[in-house]
Structure 1
Amino acid sequence: MYKVLIVEPQEFALKALLNLPVWEKGQDGFICTDTATNGEEALKLLKTKQFDLVLTEINLSIYDGLQILKQVYRENEEPLFVFISDIVSFSYAREGFIYGAFDYLPKPVNKDNMQALFQRAREKLKKQKKQLSTASDIYSEYRAFFSKGQIQDLLNKFTRKDDTVLELFRNMIMTLYQTKLSSQPPDIIANKLFVTIMEGIFTRHQWLSLYIPQNFYKKLDYLVLNDTNNFIDYYGRKFTTLFQLYCLLNPDFYDETLKKIHLYILQHPDEDLKLIYIARKFFMNHSYLSNLFSRKSNIRYSQLVTLVKLKRAEYLLNYTTLPIIDIVYQLGYKDINYFAQIYKKVIGKSPYEYDREDYYDYSI
């Protein structure tokens, strides 16, 4: 049985869809398990429940259909997206296809159109399921060549900020391309290995997801297809990017209390992190804490907080569509011009230079 979410603001249109004689509960049938009337409700459902197919009107309040699709695309979720709308202009749906929409149906939808859609969706979902099964087989396959101890050693080196981890990682990827491991293409096996390593790193250091998404490597910089060296370089660049970020946010501390405070700061970048509040939270005198940072670390407290907040801002600028002013206030800054100055000084780029998505500009 395939679960469907319908997002439709008009009650009569929703009832018309639900009354079509196409819904079945069998193994290959489609059943509407949830409905929503606006974009906000839809996103909440998509974050808390699993769906195979989403049927959505484009013209919704709060967030429209394209905004929902872009958010799902950004977070790497799996449901198929189908736009159902009476909007005359096809440009909306056209942009949706760029972001991975599965299909578009004009209103009013009839039984034949819906049955044809379900048949196409059924074939697509079965193909996806087969691919997931293949990926599981690949996981078992490469483990025969890279023991748990080798992967564990890589994760340990990463945690210790041992820069030899970069060479170790590159050698592992090169081995997959230079050795005939199986009938499966090495690109598929290399990707699965890379994802497994990412899962291990983000599981150990969950705070990393506040500064870079776990699927960050899907944001392509450049990659020449059919060139093995380019694939190896691609994974190497992405792994190096993550390692450099981890090291940057992990200065050395020579005191257990400071290590706990540092972890708290990494986990709460949006909070008020003034020294006096943190000292009070850890039952310390703020002057003593300031001196402790001077004696037992290689970074001043104010430098650490500024770095953490600006790297959090970089994440929000890169991977969300929050307005810059909202990001500034969220991180506790009162003056947007001051924020822009220190951001460019520390990050090396103005916050206004990012190619940010505008949900209300649908031109292609």
Structure 2
Amino acid sequence: MYKVLLVDDENRITRGLQQIIPWKQLNCIVAGTAYNGEAGLKLAEEIKPDIMITDINMPYMDGLEMIAALKKNHHTTKFIILSGYSDFKYAQRGIQIGIQNYVLKPVDEIELENSIKEVIKDIEQERYNKDQLANMHPPLYASHLQERHQTGVIKDIQDYMVEHYASNLTLISIADAFFINPSYLSQLFMKKTNTTFLQYLTNIRIKKAEELLKKTDLKVYEISSQVGYKDSKYFSKMFERTIGAKPVDYRNQN
């Protein structure tokens, strides 16, 4: 998950951003909010966000001063600037310190979402380049670095699957959500979990179905729908293949 920090002196803005952007779908989490540059700088030092979305004109320390301070301390955070038309002089200063991601106020949610996606692509590209650079020099370190990154990606995907198992998850939809090639994801998932993506998803769904069969009076077709299977006959087939008993028999036994 990518950690996001929101900084704006208007509480309604930070509150609104948390609501209008589908953070989970972008594999992001809002790790904190701050209401001026000084507080934003302090919080960024603590949580080390991957992405910071910040206003420019704020009390105590403006957004660009905060960004400059973080860059001076070699933070790898990516920044998205929220600015009004009247802030053009600030935008010029931002370009001078290397900020290219601007979204005009009032914020258009689609524009901001697209900007976040672009930043995520930049982060992934930099990580990939870092891995490739390491591969050219110390092989043992490079191998360890790549292994650690791959493990982290798969852990994030597993967490995502546990949370969204009831929706229409596919290898392609997950690959798109995490900006990964589907074929590569399939191979990596098998390598890290010793099972296929589909089998892992099936196990999550069947385990949840077991709980519902034990603890509720829901009908089999209702449970089938709740755990992500539109076809209750197919659900029963998968349940029996996994558990060794039909759903009704399992309920009676337990």
**Normalising by the residue count of structure 1, what TM-score does the alignment of the two structures yield?**
0.37
Counterpart code for 1:47: E
User: What secondary structure is seen at the aligned counterpart in 2 of 1:109?
Assistant: coil
Spell out the pairing of 1:251-270 with structure 2 (5 A cutoff): none
User: What secondary structure is seen at the aligned counterpart in 2 of 1:3?
Assistant: strand
User: What secondary structure is seen at the aligned counterpart in 2 of 1:101?
Assistant: coil
Say how many residue pairs are matched. 141
Q: Which residue of 2 aligns with 1:16?
A: 16
Give yes or no for the alignment of 1:51 onto 2:58.
Answer: no
Q: CA deviation at 1:138?
A: 3.5
Q: Deviations over 1:266-289 (max 9, x none)?
A: xxxxxxxxxxxxxxxxxxxxxxxx
Q: Deviations over 1:283-340 (max 9, x none)?
A: xxxxxxxxxxxxxxxxxxxxxxxxxxxxxxxxxxxxxxxxxxxxxxxxxxxxxxxxxx
Q: CA deviation at 1:52?
A: 0.9
Q: Which residue of 1 aligns with 2:68?
A: 70
Counterpart code for 2:50: D
Q: Which residue of 2 aligns with 1:135?
A: 133
Q: Deviations over 1:225-256 (max 9, x none)?
A: xxxxxxxxxxxxxxxxxxxxxxxxxxxxxxxx
Spell out the pairing of 1:323-342 with structure 2 (5 A cutoff): none
- Runs of 4+ in structure 1 over 4 Å off: none
Q: Which residue of 1 aligns with 2:112?
A: 114
Q: Distance in 2 between matches of 1:140 and 1:106?
A: 44
Spell out the pairing of 1:209-228 with structure 2 (5 A cutoff): none
Alignment RMSD:
2.0
Contact 2:51 2:79 in 1 (8 A): yes
Counterpart code for 1:63: M
Long gaps (5+) in structure 1 = 144-364
User: What secondary structure is seen at the aligned counterpart in 2 of 1:68?
Assistant: helix
Q: Which residue of 2 aligns with 1:234?
A: none
Q: CA deviation at 1:3?
A: 0.8
Q: Distance in 1 between matches of 2:106 and 2:79?
A: 18
User: What secondary structure is seen at the aligned counterpart in 2 of 1:114?
Assistant: helix
User: What secondary structure is seen at the aligned counterpart in 1 of 2:138?
Assistant: helix
Contact 1:57 1:65 in 2 (8 A): yes
Q: CA deviation at 1:22?
A: 2.2
Spell out the pairing of 1:79-158 with structure 2 (5 A cutoff): 79-140=77-138
Corresponding residue to 2:28 among 7, 27, 30: 30
Q: Which residue of 1 aligns with 2:2?
A: 2
133 and 12 in structure 1: CA distance in 2 versus 1, 3 angstrom threshold: same
Q: Distance in 2 between matches of 1:4 and 1:106?
A: 19
Q: CA deviation at 1:102?
A: 3.6
Q: CA deviation at 1:110?
A: 2.1
Q: CA deviation at 1:30?
A: 2.1
Counterpart code for 1:20: I
Long gaps (5+) in structure 2 = 142-254
Q: Distance in 1 between matches of 2:88 and 2:72?
A: 23
Q: Which residue of 2 aligns with 1:151?
A: none
Q: CA deviation at 1:61?
A: 1.2
Q: Deviations over 1:182-215 (max 9, x none)?
A: xxxxxxxxxxxxxxxxxxxxxxxxxxxxxxxxxx
Q: Distance in 2 between matches of 1:5 and 1:13?
A: 13
Contact 1:80 1:102 in 2 (8 A): no
Q: Distance in 2 between matches of 1:129 and 1:109?
A: 29
Spell out the pairing of 1:316-355 with structure 2 (5 A cutoff): none
Higher CA-based Rg: 1
Q: Distance in 2 between matches of 1:48 and 1:19?
A: 24
Q: Distance in 2 between matches of 1:118 and 1:60?
A: 22
From the two aligned structures, give the one with the greater helix fraction: 2
